[in-house]
Structure 1
Amino acid sequence: MTWQLIKDAIRGKEQDFTQLSLKTAIVVLAIPMILEMMMESLFAVVDIFFVAKLGEDAIATVGLTESVIVLVYAIGFGISMAATALISRRFGEKRYRDAGAAAFQLLLVGGAISVVLGVFGWIFAADILSLMGAEDSVVKSGVMYSRIIFAGNTAIMLLFLINGAFRGAGQAHHAMRSLWIANGLNIILDPLLIFGLGSFAGFGLEGAAMATTLGRGIGVVYQLFHLFGGKNKLKITKQDLVIKWKTIRKIMNIAAGGMGQFLIDSVSWIALTRMNAEFGSASLAGYTIAFRILIFTILPAWGLSGAAATLVGQNLGAKEPLRAEQSVWLTVRYAVVFMASVTGIYLLFADQLAGFFTDIPEVREVAAQGLQVIVLGYVFFAVGMVLTQAFNGAGDTKTPAWINIGVLWFLEIPLAYILAFPVGMGHLGIFISISFSHSLHAVVAYLIFRKGKWKLIQV
């Protein structure tokens, strides 16, 4: 029975998630989402593994660029949340044609925004790196890498938002496959385009940006093929190829809160990265490596919490609010078990994990310290991720945004600054602030979620 469920999940057998038992529904949804996010996290680890061989400046360039490109991620995630909320609600109501029409409007919104961001990023790449505190050598060697990443943000944006639509429809297998294609190609292209092969010399750091952009671009092609020519219930037909301003306004209303969540989180991350830059490239490189390793377990947990978003949206659409809430608490239980199990691994093997990516003693020490301190809040992180996704699946994207403002802006940033500079703890103070603040974030989300106002949101 269990093996059959796993096969159905990976193959993409369509299910009615308003009727399946909750344990079965979570398994069927979560397996492809976890596999999807495992590949996404593997991409992050592999990418930094190869870039690290180019030296501290290359690692610092990636860290600084990502701290800004995360703003693109924020917008992409925001629209993705709108996609999941809208599509899951329509599927719960069995209004499949309306779901397809909404998917086209999502493409229009995401595509237009990404073009504007790409032009801006290409023109001001050097200024952005300098503003983030990059040393002159980092700006000189990394500006083209940043330009390519910024210019290729359309692939990032569409990959996120279309996968959000697939998840909302319960078609998590398409989201999984698109990321496996995108990141699988990146893993193959990374060493080839960075270091070359035979008489081909490679492009160095710029090759890493090319590999990422090409891989994600092919992943988007796969997505579009199944959206426009697929055989599943979520598909875009010729009749859907019209602009519907009412739907676009609804998308922007939901996405605004989602964008706010990640923009607030991103500003916090940028601030923390900027603080780390004050301690030199070695500290910044260690910080970057630590987060790349942590992503390997955070993203799968985020994939698990995505099951809660889909179940909340579809069950609210089916007028089953109690079932929606039950699905959240069951998912919380699974996420806590997962995050608790990996906490011990990081505490015991932090130095060895950091050493896998760099043999520079100063960088390795910072990365290992970051792993050991941040994972102390991992169990709380699990609760916070699931509850945040549950709010988003209900279409209540503004509540998590307000929580982010209160905890991340008014606690995490000031606390990190005080511990790092006046107290003199340096990068350790920043790591302590991250662990404590995100743990408190989970507690606040829990207290608000228990009130149940998210059940009344109309999408």
Structure 2
Amino acid sequence: MSIRGRLSGLFSVVFKGRDEFDLTSGGIGKPLFYLSLPIVITNLLQTAYNLADTFWLGQYSTEALAAISFAFPMVFLLISLGIGLSTAGSILVAQNTGAGDDEAAEYAASQTVTFSLLVSVALGVVGYFGVGPLLAVLGASADVLPLATEYMQVISLGLPFMFGFFIFISLMRGYGDTVTPMLVMFGTVVFNIVLDPFLIFGWGPFPALGVEGAAVATVVSRGLAMVVGMAIMFAGTRGVEIHLADMRPDPVYLGKIVKLGVPASIEGTGRAVSVNALLLIVGLFPTTVVAAFGIGIRVFSVIFMPAIAVARGVETMAGQNIGAGEEDRAAATSRFAAKTMFVVLGAAGVVTWVFAPAVVGVFTPDPEVVEVGATFLRYVAPSFAFIGVMRSYTGGFRGAGKTLTAAVIAVGMLGVVRLPVAWFASQDVGLGLGSSGIWLSFLVSNVLGAILAYAWYQRGTWRGADVARGPKETYTATDDD
């Protein structure tokens, strides 16, 4: 057998298409694994965009590294403000696919694309003109502010391209196809990693753009991914299909998307705002602490990928099972995911605690940043298992259409617990632990968030969703918990 044939055989064993497993019957572990594994890889590849920027700019200068420590949470904030619409589309596609209503699923997907792109354009304009003042309020120093602003303005202009690909991922996931987005992401990540140093350092014929070059490379790569993703959905050969005729803005249907999407946006925005708000506290400390915070957040984004991916898998499986009238199977999916993630991320926490200095050292040669960053990782590592539990149950809530419940849990964990603890523990008026007080807030909030999500899910308020039928009557589940 040829090498190509062997690789193709290996791929078919590791990755399964939607037509090779049933999300609404049979065992739970195997379909959840095949659904979530490509999401893990897709999210890792997605994070590679930011990691590549972090690595190359870390070699460029400490000021550049600090600049993207401020910029990355801002990127997350802009995306989170509109990403709830694509989450709503994913839920509607999943529930109607489970109910066997392909026409309704395709209409949901088409309308989601339209409204999400319109929102991304508006957010991009606001972001371009508003990031500079906001970064200044967040405490970016005089030498960091211009660099962070340059990065964010380029990202803001490219926001529709970034949104376009996120929409593609969400809608395909709702249908049950997570392999296709993974393959598209792989090609564009490789392109971004190769392009980054050329634009940052000015290799070959390219000018040395520094921080701005990293942003340009990211936008160009995401734009390529969007074009490919949209072409796949219009073709309809894989995953959910979209139709130009269904993309005319439907104000009535917009209300249905908003009903699900606004709480999902609040959840994502709450997470982004909490990171940005933490920068107000982190910014009170030296640049080494700011840089270490940025590296730590990037490392967490990689380690938590399995939990986030499984949560998205739970969201899809729960949505399709609720659409099919299998509520008990939806509940079993959340429980199985929570137990599995507790074990997997618990093991990851042990490894991270042991090798913390080496992990931080990958991103910077500065010994002070390595020391502070290692301390950050060792404070948070014991709580990794609890992140898995919380994400699994909030994924179940979203799949049932209870996006408001998931938002309340996330905002409560971050706004009510993490931020106050970070301020009180780090400042002299409180415990006076310095930067360690900020790291402690992550540990406390992660544990309490898991307990809250578990207890709330056991109440069963997510049960009883009604799946409507028809292209313009697809909305399901209220958020009146």
Using the size of structure 1 for normalisation, the TM-score is: 0.95
Change (3 A) 1:390 1:184: farther
Of 185, 196, 199, which residue of structure 2 is paired with 1:193? 199
Q: CA deviation at 1:13?
A: 4.7
**CA deviation vs aligned residue, 1:137-157 (integer Å, no higher than 9, x gap):** 112333222210121112222
Deviation at 1:254, TM superposition (A): 0.3
Query: How many pairs are equivalent?
Result: 457
Q: Is contact 1:170-1:310 (8 Å) kept?
A: yes
Deviation at 1:353, TM superposition (A): 1.1
Closer/same/farther in 2, CA of residues 237 and 412 from structure 1, 3 Å limit: same
Quote the residue 1:10 is aligned against: 15
Q: Give the unaligned 5+ runs of structure 2.
A: 1-7, 467-475, 477-481
1:303 matched to 2:312? The reply is no
Structure 2 equivalent of residue 425 of structure 1: 433
Q: 1:343 to 1:127 in 2, by over 3 A?
A: same
Q: Does 1:65 align with 2:71?
A: yes
Deviations 1:203-223 (A, max 9, x none): 211110011111111111111
In the alignment, the residues of structure 2 paired with residue 401 and residue 299 of structure 1 have an alpha-carbon distance, to the nearest angstrom, of 19
- 1:280-291 superposed matches below 5 A: 280-291=286-297
Q: How does 1:315-330 map to 2 (within 5 A)?
A: 315-330=321-336
List structure 1 segments (4+ residues) > 4 angstroms apart after TM superposition. Answer: 3-6
8 Å CA contact 1:340–1:378 kept in 2: the answer is: yes
**Do 2:58 and 2:363's aligned partners in 1 also have CA atoms closer than 8 Å?**
yes
Alpha-carbon RMSD across the aligned residues, in angstroms, is 1.9
Partner of 1:121: 127
Task: Give the distance between the partners of 1:46 and 1:11, measured in 2 at CA.
Answer: 29
After TM superposition, the structure 1 = structure 2 runs for residues 238-249 of structure 1, keeping only pairs within 5 Å, are 238-249=244-255
| 8 Å contact from structure 1 (residues 93, 317) kept in 2 | yes
Counterpart AA for 1:119: V
**2:285 pairs with 1:279:** yes
Q: Displacement, 1:259?
A: 0.8
Which structure features the higher share of helix residues?
Answer: 1
Mapped pair 1:447 → 2:455: yes
Q: 1:228 corresponds to which residue? A: 234
Moved more, 7-16 or 431-440: 7-16
427 and 89 in structure 1: CA distance in 2 versus 1, 3 angstrom threshold: same
**Displacement of 1:305:** 2.1
Distance 1:91 1:375, change over 3 A: same
Distance 1:208 1:192 in 2: 9
Aligned: 1:353 with 2:364: no
Mean CA deviation greater in 265-274 or 69-78: 69-78
Contact 1:391 1:397 in 2 (8 A): yes
Task: Give the aligned residue type for 1:19.
Answer: S
> Within 1, Cα distance between the matches of 2:146 and 2:248?
45
**Using the alignment, how far apart are the partners of 1:357 and 1:242 within structure 2?**
46
Shift of 1:56: 2.0
**Is the CA contact 1:282–1:362 (under 8 Å) kept in the aligned structure 2?**
yes
Contact 1:77 1:259 in 2 (8 A): yes
Contact 2:74 2:152 (8 Å CA) reproduced? no
Amino acid at match of 2:439: F
Aligned to 1:437: 445
Corresponding position of 2:465: 457
Note if contact 1:76-1:161 (Cα within 8 Å) is conserved in structure 2: no
Preserved contact between residue 81 and residue 393 of structure 1 (Cα < 8 Å)? no
Deviations along 1:380-423, one digit per CA (max 9) or x if unpaired, are 01001111111111110001222233332222111110011122
Contact 2:139 2:279 in 1 (8 A): no
Aligned residues of 2:16 and 2:34 also touching (Cα < 8 A): no
| Deviates further, 401-410 or 271-280 | 401-410
